[in-house]
Amino acid sequence: MPAFPPDSPLHAFSEVEVNAIFEAGRERTAAVDEVIVAEGEPGDSMFFLLEGRCEARIGTGKAVRTYEPGSYFGELSFINAGHRRSASIVATAPTRMQVIDQSSINALLDSHPRAIFTLLRRACAFLVDAERNLISDLRRRNTELQDTIKKLEFTRQRLNQEEETARTDQLTGLFNRRAFDSELPVFMARSKAIGSGLALLAMDLDHFKPVNDTLGHAVGDFVLRGVGKILAQGVRKTDLPCRIGGDEFVVLLADLNESAAKMRAEVLRAAVNAMPHPGNDQGIRITTTMGGTMYREGETLEQFMQRADEALYAAKRAGRNRVGWE
């Protein structure tokens, strides 16, 4: 990935995501004074500036914005295909850029959906402000632009909803593995920055397979939803309860010490044990085994997760239906 200024919006993406976005697009160069896009022409692409410099110019030739490496332009036509360009973009230095169009998005949706959500959400937020400022500066009320702003505001809301859906386990309503993988580094960085305690609980249901085999998958789903409800109601808004697959769950507990974390784990374990379910009448118990640990400053994400897993496996070897701690 090229080195961009610290304030570049591309820093919202990981290096892998930036490289994927660029690989999905195509490169274009422009000489000095070359018009990259013309005011009034329809378009469906946006441009990421890699090298050089460009200006946005309105019909009078007045420059209203400058673009440096690491910035991008053309978002309106990218989101609202066919929208007519509100300004011309002219290269003021030899310029190299990456062009991203609708076909590029289709290629990225499956491989890097988070990058698309981030790109479109940031583009919408930027454009809402940018278009309003432009209208104010030029003292005009363009009906087409106003309609586009409304569409963008709606699109931003819809993208936020779609991203939330992509981070949610549809059966239990908890966060899913994607959300856990995304949020764990954030929780760790926050714990380190403010010196607060952070606990990780790894949790499996004990002997869950017989529930599905004996009572059916509908009852199994009922049990999983019940466990999800216990976890969601048994933690605080600052915590992160997740279902990461099958009968496997993890919980991040923020801003507490080891003693409080152990107590919270025991409360959750007991609540699962006491949970009513259709198998109660047939003598089928639902219990859970947990492994917990506290984040230690300086350790890696993998070390943190491995220690929680080791505590879980040790608790299973010790007889299950208990909380192990490392």
Q: Where do the domains of the chain lie?
A: 9-166, 177-325
CATH classification number, 9-166, choose in 2.60.120.10, 3.90.420.10, 3.50.50.60, 2.40.50.100: 2.60.120.10
Say if 9-166 and 177-325 have the same CATH topology: no
Among the listed residues 184, 280, 277, the one whose alpha carbon sits nearest the alpha carbon of residue 228 = 277
- Which residue is associated with the tokens 């809301």? 157
Chain CA centroid to CA 261, Å: 26
- Which residue is associated with the tokens 């239990």? 172
- Which residue is associated with the tokens 């892998």? 16
Q: Could you tell me how many residues make up the chain?
A: 326
**What is the Cα–Cα distance from 319 to 89, expressed in whole angstroms?**
69
pLDDT confidence of residue 265: 96
The percent helix, strand, coil of the chain (3-state, each to 5) is 50, 20, 30
First-to-last CA distance in the chain?
39
pLDDT confidence of residue 255: 94
pLDDT confidence of residue 153: 74
For the chain (length 326 residues), average pLDDT per consecutive 10? 70 77 88 92 86 89 86 73 83 92 76 74 65 58 65 67 76 91 90 93 90 85 94 93 94 96 96 85 85 95 96 96 95
Architecture of the domain delimited by 177-325: 2-Layer Sandwich (3.30)
Query: Which residues neighbour 37 within 8 Å (Cβ) at sequence distance 6 or greater?
Result: 43, 47, 74, 85, 88, 89
- Determine if the pTM surpasses 0.85: no
**What is the Cα–Cα distance from 289 to 287, expressed in whole angstroms?**
7
What is the spatial order of strands in the sheet that 26-30 belongs to?
Answer: 26-30, 95-100, 46-51, 72-73
**What is the Cα–Cα distance from 97 to 204, expressed in whole angstroms?**
49
Alpha helices in the chain (DSSP H): 15-24, 75-79, 102-111, 113-138, 143-166, 177-194, 209-215, 217-234, 258-273, 301-317
**What is the Cα–Cα distance from 34 to 54, expressed in whole angstroms?**
10
**What is the Cα–Cα distance from 306 to 199, expressed in whole angstroms?**
13
Q: Give the DSSP letter of residue 284.
A: -
- Which residue is associated with the tokens 């420059």? 63
pLDDT confidence of residue 2: 62
**What is the Cα–Cα distance from 196 to 102, expressed in whole angstroms?**
44
**E strand or H helix at 115:** helix 113-138
Active site residues: 247
